[in-house]
Amino acid sequence: MEIEVCPLSELPPGSSRVIDAGPEGIGVYNCDGEVFAIEDRCTHDDGKLCEGDWEPETCQVICPRHGARFDVRTGRALTLPAYIPVDTYAARVRDDGVVVVDLPG
């Protein structure tokens, strides 16, 4: 299932947004011109991961609860206290310039 996020012009490099989709919400990131999507739930203790800060220069999101870092490109947990990766979703820019996220099913 394809979910429309916004026009790419509204999600320039270095910006992000959270959309109400999937079981927990989804954070969508423009990291240096490429778009990525991860589940808005930290694997450490279910914090709202995507409401925290992120670093566009490293493509890392920082959990606002206890500070674990994840790579938004892969979902990989980079620092404790998290060690399990977060779910990622396929994100892309459609031919008409709209950012979309593909949800399974």
- At CA 2, angle to CA 38 and CA 14, rounded to 5? 40
Residue whose CB is less far from ligand FES, 66 or 73: 66
Contact (Cβ atoms closer than 8 angstroms) between residue 21 and residue 101: yes
Contact (Cβ atoms closer than 8 angstroms) between residue 51 and residue 40: yes
> How many residues contact ligand FES, by CB under 6 A?
11
Phi-psi region of 84 (alpha: psi -120 to 50; beta: other; left: phi over 0): beta
Instruction: Single out the segment in contact with ligand FES by CB under 6 A; choices: 2-10, 13-21, 61-69, 92-100.
Output: 61-69
Regarding 91 and contact with ligand FES (CB under 6 A), the answer is no
Regarding 81 and contact with ligand FES (CB under 6 A), the answer is yes
Residues that bind ligand FES (CB under 6 A): 42, 44-45, 47, 63, 65-68, 81-82
